[in-house]
Amino acid sequence: MSRAPWAVVARREYVSRLRSASFLIGTLVGPLVLIVASSAPAWLGNSPGAVAPAVGVIDCSGVLDGGASHVAVDVARELRMVHIPPELGRDVMSGLVADRALDAVVMISPDGARAELIAGSAVDPEALARLRGRLEPMLYEALVHHRATLLPLDEEMVRELTAPPAWTLTTLECVDPARAASFALVMGMILYATLLTYGLATMRAVVEEKAGGVVELLLSSARPVDLLAGKILGIASIGVTQYLMWAAVAAVIIVSRGSLDQLAVPLMGQPAGIGLAAACIAYFVLGYALFASLYAVAGGMVSSLADAQHVHLPVTALLIAPVFLVWFVVTAPESTAARIVSQIPVFAPMLMVARLAMNAASVGEVALSVVVLSATGLASFHLAARVYRAGILMRGKPATPKEVMRWIRE
């Protein structure tokens, strides 16, 4: 049984690209670049050369003797503890903080009943809160011990009287907004990079066939609409193959996350799962169908790759726009504005995937965007097929918008 022309063309596009060195390089290097780019800030912050904030400790009570070292170890990643002689006094210490010689100072009164934390504005407030949370129980225990020695009470009795209630700590998985935003950005950028790569590949394929003269042979064997459909499907299949390979690698990384935690966190730090991967592929396919059609229009308007560089800019601008919008969307993924812009077909692939990565898009929103994006992609394909057919034998200067409009109407 003979195969349909679009299937033959799709197969050729798929096989020839699968065997190309650029596919292998793109598949291997693409995620590495993204992982490195997204990990770099965290890595730089945690690198040995990075200086943690310095916290001076003046312990007039001596209650921290033997305890402060544990605190220092516990918070060592975030703060450097510096023991300071009590003689220096509060004013001197405040001056050191104001001059940024120290980032913060903890002062404990001689009876251990009062503690003061003086911090510079540059220190992370959360880190200081954690430090306070660690110091408070230690000070409390030291104070109980100190007061027991002053009263005719057995220390055990004091301990029973002041015993705190037993607490049970249960930790629940929840979305870390910063990490979710980072993950959403990475997913959005992957969509952008692949749509741009494969969209441009479609345009190049159209132009190269025109410039190389093989297109007339193709047109004698199949209808233009079949040729264009086969080309778009074949290149989309290569993109899906690349996604599946990346998903497989990501799955392996997640499984072995214990040893590869640092690598896995930036990309798969969220409980993303198969649903997000499927959505990512679906939005790639729909977004690719839309942009490949638009790039095919650009390719149909010119007869050389040099001319194509100028003609494709409006299409690429539509693809770049959501790169700027995605920064806004990840900061307020459930805002009305984010909901609206993520429904615009040319923005939907990147922005909706970013919102999905943050668990901020409802099923209804996703369904609506899929319908709108599919309809727009279909309309763009029909438009592209008309331009492709009319412009495919054109030689010389690029077609003007007026000519393209005439081709579409004819």
Partner 1 sequence: MTPFAGAEAGGLSLRQISKRFGAVEVVNSLSLHVRRGMIYGLLGPNGAGKTTTLRMIMGILLPDHGTVLRDGEPAGPMDRRRMGYLPEARGLYARMGVAEQLAFFAALRGITSSDVRPAVARWLDLLGLRGLSDRRSDELSHGMQQLLQLAIALIHDPDVVILDEPFTGLDPVHVARVIELISSLKDQGVAVLLTTHAMEQAEAVCDHVGFLDHGTLRAEGTPDDLRSRYGMVALRVVYRDAVPLDLSLPDDMRTEVQGRGLTVEWSSGRPPHDVIARLDAAGQMTEFELRRPGLREVFLRVVQ
Choose which of 51, 174, 178, 217 interacts with partner 1 (CB under 8 A).
Answer: 217
Q: Helices 257-268 and 21-46 sit at what angle, rounded to 10 degrees? A: 100
- Binding map of partner 1 across residues 288-327, x = CB under 8 A, - = no contact: ----------------------------------------
- Verify binding: residue 13, partner 1, rule CB under 8 A: no
- Provide the 8-state DSSP code for 51: P
| Binding region for partner 1 (CB under 8 A) out of 40-48, 99-107, 215-223, 265-273 | 215-223
Nearest-angstrom CA–CA distance, 174 and 75: 23
- Verify binding: residue 2, partner 1, rule CB under 8 A: yes
Choose which of 1, 51, 163, 166 interacts with partner 1 (CB under 8 A).
Answer: 1
Q: How far is the CB of 403 from partner 1 (least distance, A)?
A: 12
Contact between 198 and 292 (Cβ < 8 Å)? yes
Nearest-angstrom CA–CA distance, 102 and 94: 9
Query: Long-range CB contacts (< 8 A, 24+ apart) of 32-36?
Result: 34/186, 34/189, 34/190, 34/193, 34/267, 35/263, 35/266, 35/267
Q: How far is the CB of 224 from partner 1 (least distance, A)?
A: 9
- Verify binding: residue 3, partner 1, rule CB under 8 A: yes
Total interface residues for partner 1 by CB under 8 A: 22
Nearest to 306 by CA among 405, 210, 192, 196: 210
Here the tokens at position 4 are 């349909």
| Binding region for partner 1 (CB under 8 A) out of 85-93, 219-227, 234-242, 338-346 | 219-227
Residue 134: is it exposed, middle or buried by C-beta count within 10 angstroms (0-12/13-18/19+)? middle
Closer residue to partner 1 in complex, CB, 242/303: 303
- Verify binding: residue 362, partner 1, rule CB under 8 A: no
Nearest-angstrom CA–CA distance, 64 and 138: 7
| Binding region for partner 1 (CB under 8 A) out of 35-43, 157-165, 214-222, 261-269 | 214-222
- Verify binding: residue 16, partner 1, rule CB under 8 A: yes
Closer residue to partner 1 in complex, CB, 3/100: 3
- Residue 115 main-chain phi, psi, to 5 deg: -135, 145
Closer residue to partner 1 in complex, CB, 152/212: 212
- Binding map of partner 1 across residues 154-193, x = CB under 8 A, - = no contact: ----------------------------------------
Here the tokens at position 59 are 């312990």
Residue 408: partners with Cβ closer than 8 Å, 6 or more residues away:
383, 386, 387
Choose which of 45, 125, 165, 213 interacts with partner 1 (CB under 8 A).
Answer: 213
- Verify binding: residue 393, partner 1, rule CB under 8 A: yes
- Provide the 8-state DSSP code for 55: E
Closer residue to partner 1 in complex, CB, 115/211: 211
Closer residue to partner 1 in complex, CB, 247/305: 305
- Verify binding: residue 5, partner 1, rule CB under 8 A: yes
Q: Are strands 104-108 and 115-119 parallel, antiparallel or unpaired?
A: antiparallel
Choose which of 82, 144, 158, 218 interacts with partner 1 (CB under 8 A).
Answer: 218
- Verify binding: residue 222, partner 1, rule CB under 8 A: yes
Choose which of 214, 244, 337, 340 interacts with partner 1 (CB under 8 A).
Answer: 214
Q: How far is the CB of 233 from partner 1 (least distance, A)?
A: 15
- Verify binding: residue 221, partner 1, rule CB under 8 A: yes
Q: How far is the CB of 392 from partner 1 (least distance, A)?
A: 8
Closer residue to partner 1 in complex, CB, 123/215: 215
Which ranges in 162-223 belong to alpha helices (H)? 177-212, 214-219
- Verify binding: residue 212, partner 1, rule CB under 8 A: yes
Q: How far is the CB of 13 from partner 1 (least distance, A)?
A: 11
Contact between 384 and 228 (Cβ < 8 Å)? yes
Cα three-residue angle 51-174-37, rounded to 5 degrees: 45
Closer residue to partner 1 in complex, CB, 225/282: 225
Q: How far is the CB of 242 from partner 1 (least distance, A)?
A: 21
Here the tokens at position 265 are 């966190």
Measured over the CA atoms of residue 22, residue 189, residue 238 and residue 301, the dihedral's sign is negative
Contact between 195 and 312 (Cβ < 8 Å)? no
- DSSP reduced 3-state for 280: helix
- Only one residue has tokens 């086969």, namely 230
Residues that bind partner 1 (CB under 8 A): 1-3, 5, 8-9, 12, 16, 209, 212-223, 393
